[in-house]
Structure 1
Amino acid sequence: MIYEGVLTKMQTEFGNPIQYYLVFENSFLNVNQLLDKEIEISFQGYQCLNCGKKKKIFRQGFCYDCFMSSAAVGDWIMKPELSTAHLDIEDRDLTYEKRVQLQPHIVYLALSSEIKVGVTRGTQVPTRWIDQGASQAIPIVEVPNRYLAGITEVALKNKYSDKTNWQKMLKNEVAPLDLVQERLKAQSFLPNEVMPYFSENNSKLYQLHYPVLEYPKKVTSLNLDKSPNFQGRLSGIKGQYLLFQDGTVFNIRTFEGYVVKFQL
């Protein structure tokens, strides 16, 4: 069978294990069903996720022009502390920025290799943690806007990393740490503006289980620009990565906006 279309991040369904779906314009594919099967991936071209034009992808699935102009990829996306919609100050499109920034956000701790701190919208729980390949995650606070979440993350970065070691995550090299206790320790690092949102009892711990038959001992990233054709046997899915038996890993998020053909 052949599935062809523009890559976007895999859609997920929380369960044990997590279910993954590749969604194209006219079809979709439950990736879990491909475990232990041979897959051929072929690069066909580009299509910007914003303007739809067949232009080379610059970053995050956008062509250069869209990346430089779209409100969906403003600096406040990667740095929530730069959010200004709560002050009625526009970055690129105030209507869009208010819609995204002025809603509940979660500041959390996640365990994908070591502990990391991060920010996500309340509507993205637990999707955000699945996309990161976290094995466990726990909310620290829920705040009413992105700015408050951002300054909380900045304060907690003095104690915790805000990056995932993707190679350790894919090899399942996870430190045995207690997120419930770490959450309580994190309270002392919270900014004063955020302290009213902290509750000692609100500490649901999420456990995430991925469909992996075998974790790789070494990993090599598949780059479609350098290797436009690849064939391998799927051994697992974790985060937004496809894991293959030979140690090749394919990050779907990196290649959003690429037109690909999957042959099964």
Structure 2
Amino acid sequence: MAADDRTAWRLVRVDPDLDCRPDRDALAARAAAQSLAELWAITVRLRADCPWDREQTPATIVPHTIEEAYEVADAALAGPPGPKLVDELGDLLFQSFILALMAHEAGAGDLGDVADGIAGKLVRRHPHVFGDADLATSDAVLRSWEGIKREQEGRAGVFHDIPTTLPPLLAALKTQKRAAAAGFDWAEWGGAEASVRAELDELGAALGEHPVDGPEPAPAVRDEAGDVLFAAVNLLRLACVDPETALRGAAARFRARVEEAERLAADDGADWTGLSLEEQERYYRAAKDRLAGRDSDEGAR
């Protein structure tokens, strides 16, 4: 293995007594270290010998990284962990490796530094696991986590390191979590629900003052619409509902219902897209009932 390839061996700190403890976890750690070293060697080889990989920069790789992260999310949410999730995790892992190699080329650190950094961060931010702190609840852990980032890691401000590239729903959720960790939060979900209702009233008032008469809404309407969405995310957070997952599920259910409505209409010799709104709604309701019954039957099995 070339000198550069040896970086991967720093990724997993193998216990010196590993060979004397042939338990499953120890053997898995040794196998993982070997596999990670091989992946690093492949990454280095691709970077050196593949014209496409050689031309890439962090800016050109990031879109692929984001795409792979979404594919991991889809696989994880599709059901119990299986081969598809393992496959997608491999694709995402390669993204981390190629970006780490680019950092190494720029003199910013190597794969070992990446692993050391996250390992140190996890130990530092979990004093209740690796130290003697007493944190009995998840809320206490989160408050401690944010406090450590501010006090021990010199992070200034509540929101200073929230990436501007986050998807809007995730950015809103992260912003609210940061505020909550600083103590600025509703005492219970009822306050957040009332806020949603108030923001809806304000949006209605803005629409009344600025009727929609073109492709672009009035700034006041856009602002109030944003407040509605932000308030809704806050309510979901307090209800322990992930907004991205909830919205993805709602979109999937709507799509399934429309597709079922199309099938029901086709069974009657009709094209659903060419029907009146009333007829489309009738088939949609029938599709919704049928799918609900199907889900109920599957749940009873």
TM-score (norm 2): 0.23
Q: Larger relative contact order (C-alpha < 8 A, sep ≥ 6)?
A: 1
Greater gyration radius: 2
Higher helix residue share: 2
Higher strand share: 1
TM-score, with normalisation over the residues of structure 1? 0.25
